[in-house]
Structure 1
Amino acid sequence: MSTVTTASVPRVRKTLRRPTEVLLHGRKGDTRLSILKFTNEGFSLSAVKDMLALSALYMEHDLVQRITGKSIRTVQRLAKETGSVRLNPQQSAVAFQYAQVLEHATEVFGNQQLAEDWLKKPCKYLDGNVPLELVDNPLGFQVVEDYLTRIEHGVYQ
């Protein structure tokens, strides 16, 4: 029987990054006006894909399609053909909304797994809508954010 010491087992360190930090690439996005500036410039497709890769739920639901309005294969082809693809301001704003909702839900529910579980299930207080399906619409995004804030403050109805 052999024993394995901890020194012989390589450790994988997972860096915990916030979804909005991935999109912003370390740029300061501490005000709505600065975020507006960055979304108007357009996020790179690779940054959006990296942000989506932080969430099993986001990968499972192929949100790159919802954000870009293009099929997965078209997005893959564009990324290969043109190198660095930038999203337009509308697509970038939607990507930021998904990043922000995931962060806010993670803060409210205490961990990302609980946040993802909540995001994918119909919610009675959102008229039976699935929160994840509301995020790509600016008004739907605001409804989800408002409800998360209410949960945060203990006001469920």
Structure 2
Amino acid sequence: MSQLDILHLVQAGFALRDVQALVSSSCLFKARKLLERILGKSTRTIQRLSNLPEQTRLNAQQSAVAFQYAQGLELAVRVFGSQTLAENWMGQSCRHLSGMIPFEMLDTSVGFKVVVDYLERVRLGVYQ
């Protein structure tokens, strides 16, 4: 998909069930209650939304944040070679990121860029 295609999907809003599938594919995302972070709603409210007859969609901002988390995990898997190693790295403080936890940085565009830039440097062997 092109970046423009992704932008159109984000602006239309991701389906709640698609984001739930993303979260369920990651132990880190489940443990850190990513869906609740993205939506700003309780687990119970999200369950009610999931059971509505019409398909619930996230708004554009929530969809953009969900996409950042998915893209961050995808890049970390490419850099570290496995989802387990990527999730371990994402869930712990990183001294090269001023001791911040990468997972907690992905919910803003600036934090996402910092994490992606660092992962690209690691991938290229230039991370000092």
TM bucket (normalised to shorter chain) is over 0.9
Aligned to 2:36: 65
Q: 1:42 is matched with which residue?
A: 13
| Offset, 1:100 | 0.4
Deviation at 1:130, TM superposition (A): 0.2
The TM-score with structure 1 as length reference comes to: 0.79
User: Please, which runs of 5 or more residues in structure 2 have no aligned partner?
Assistant: none
Does residue 3 of structure 2 align to residue 32 of structure 1?
yes
Runs of 4+ in 1 over 2 A off after TM superposition: none
Match of 1:131 in 2: 102
Higher helix proportion (structure 1 or 2):
2
Alpha-carbon distance in 2 for matches of 1:126, 1:73: 34
TM-aligned CA deviation for residue 81 of structure 1:
2.9
Alignment partner, residue 154 of structure 1: 125
SS in 2 for 1:81: coil
Give the 5 Å matches for 1:111-126: 111-126=82-97
SS at match of 2:52: helix
Distance in 2, Cα, partners of 1:42 & 1:81: 17
The letter of the residue matching 2:79 is: V
Provide the alpha-carbon RMSD of the alignment. Answer: 0.9
Q: Which residue of 1 aligns with 2:48?
A: 77
AA in 2 matched with 1:121: Q
Shift in Å at residue 82 of structure 1? 4.5
Distance 1:89 1:54 in 2: 22
Separation (CA, whole Å) in 1 of partners of 2:82 and 2:115: 18
Q: Distance between the aligned counterparts of 1:90 and 1:41, measured in 2?
A: 10
Offset from partner CA, 1:17-39 (integer Å, 9 cap, x none): xxxxxxxxxxxx2x221111110
Q: Give the deviation of 1:83 after TM superposition.
A: 3.7
Name the structure 2 match of 1:96: 67
Counterpart Cα distance in 1 of 2:114 and 2:53: 37
Deviation at 1:80, TM superposition (A): 1.4
What is the CA distance between 1:110 and its match in structure 2?
Answer: 0.5
- The residue type paired with residue 105 of structure 2 is L
Are residue 140 (structure 1) and residue 73 (structure 2) matched?
no
Higher-Rg structure is 1
